Chain A
Amino acid sequence: MAEPGARHEGERGAGAPRTSASADALAAVCFAVSTLAAVVLAVVYWRGGNTQAEGALLAVCTGGIGAGIVVWAKQSMPHDEVAEHRGAIESTEEEVAAFTADYEAGREGLGRRRLLLGLAASAFGALGAALVFPVRSLGPRPGKDLKHTPYGDGPVRLVTEDGTPVRIGDVAPDGVLTVWPEGHTDAGDAPTLLIHLRREQQFRPRAGREDWTVDDHVAYSKLCTHVGCPVGLYQAASGLLLCPCHQSTFDVLDGARPVFGPAARSLPQLPLAVNADGELIARGDFSGPVGPGFWDRDR
């Protein structure tokens, strides 16, 4: 059966190049513009550079070459469709049989040394296992670090990011302030949100935490219990804390219980007190591990 438009492989030469003067002229203009843009690019760079001009000129350089080649190829190069035979992918039965015969012949030369082969295999396996050990050097054992913050080392003053101690009155009612344990303002697990509630707000302390607040000040870990983003948005009117990353919402008046979004646990609370100088201190660590969950968090 004839195949319209398709010749077979091996017949070359019939596809003589089509001549198209206007296409050649267009391609020539493209190449010329590209060359010119490269010169201008060099000048721009030499004179101090400019991101926008560099990008645009590079685009003209590369685009000129690209457009020139495409115009040339589409208009002036042969477009003869040819059909190439596509053989079967699978090997023939003879090829498979020949391979199998050679393989088996070689294997018989090895003889029946089952024990030796077994030992060689176990040596390879042991080497593979031994090569895994250095992976252990990449990091410390994930032990107490995840359940411990610098607050756990004992009573400590709360300070702002620049190390200034925080006093009652520094935060206005409805205000929030990010605080750290003194000396640990770079600790990734210690950022704490200090919130000054309005007196008339109905704060409902958790059982056993009745004395964890001071003068309507309450403090929670700032790290979301979902994936650890800083919970930064406080809606004072409703007493809700919102995580900007994934919209988990916590009720500050109810032990920072999650009320919406993907977070499933309350923000850990920090036991507050005031020292003799009127500065806020933390009496101990948070009520639980801060930030995202892990499988043995409660063990």
Chain B
Amino acid sequence: MLHRPLLTGLAALAAAALGAVAPAAAQQPIKVGAFLSVTGPAAFLGDPEQKTLEMYVEEINAKGGVLGRKLQLVGYDDGGDAEKARTFAKRLIEQDNVDIILGGTTTGTTMAVVPLVEQAGIPFISMAGAVVIVEPVKKWVFKTPHTDRMACERIFADMKERKLAKIGMISGAGGFDKSMRTECLGVAKKFDIEIVADESYGAQDTDMTAQLTKIRNAAGVQAVVNPGFGQGPAIVTKNFRQLGMNIPLYQSHGVASKQFIELAGAAAEGVRLPAAALLVAEILPDNDKQKPVVVAYKKAYEGRFKSEVSTFGGHAYDALMIAVDAIKRAGSADKAKVRDAIEATKGYVGTGGIVNMSAADHMGLDTAAFRMLEVKNGTWALVK
């Protein structure tokens, strides 16, 4: 029993020595670790993320890999459970010895893993939304999706252009809804927006006319914002029209999918919301820098999986491409060098926007990443 650790130690030493003298070891694959919520309540986010990663790792390998080395995807499904995410991240770091970690479908699973990656010193790119992931900046943690604060800023900027200053807010009770509501309240002042009514509804609520009636009767209300996710916004939109309210209604990027229009039906006409370029790939003007990227991704994804593309899969695309780009620039899969290269990402054109990272900004997106959309004739149209 005593010689076992000794042997292992010797083997490791030998391997290290070999690695140092013979660059042949560079033929080993670069290990990309991923933990995603492929099942469970966040499955509609995690599922397209996993499919996207698999598809592009395959494609990159078919084209010869990165720096002459193949990519090897080591993926786990955390089922949306933060505890499991932590366990899997530990396994990725300690047993699988991955070179970089992608994932964290939700803010909860991401934040559970942050202490681990910070301690281990391994670059980590999250696909979850909340601002807390990159604020304050954490040395090894990056993220690809835009934040809810940016969505609020985009909405308020649009309101300012339309000279709408007094607004009502109606928010859901979910995590996304609450977080976005707080962010909106926080940035409203910056845009000279006054919130004259602030209502909420429960996750399973089926009727919001009471709340909307209150907003309608609030003095001077000129527009309504609905930070919401899931079924709530569709019902709010229906009730809004039912009450004959004809002030502008803004929804959030949380419902930026065809399903929202299907659910709300004719009531959705005229609703505005901020969304990523991916959703409106075809109608983007040809001089839009993002157009080739989003059209190509959409085509590849929809062609292979026969289901509609979502922004969530796009976040995974961006995470993988930023990682690959950084590894190329770093010239190796060395963790510290890759981290520095990710931080130095400039002008990367992805599905979520144009990414310019810096030591102070580990997301690198600005509000230009959001397009303001309006529902016209049962489909999305770009505003202006």
Tell whether A pairs with B.
no
| Residues on B facing A (Cβ under 8 Å) | none
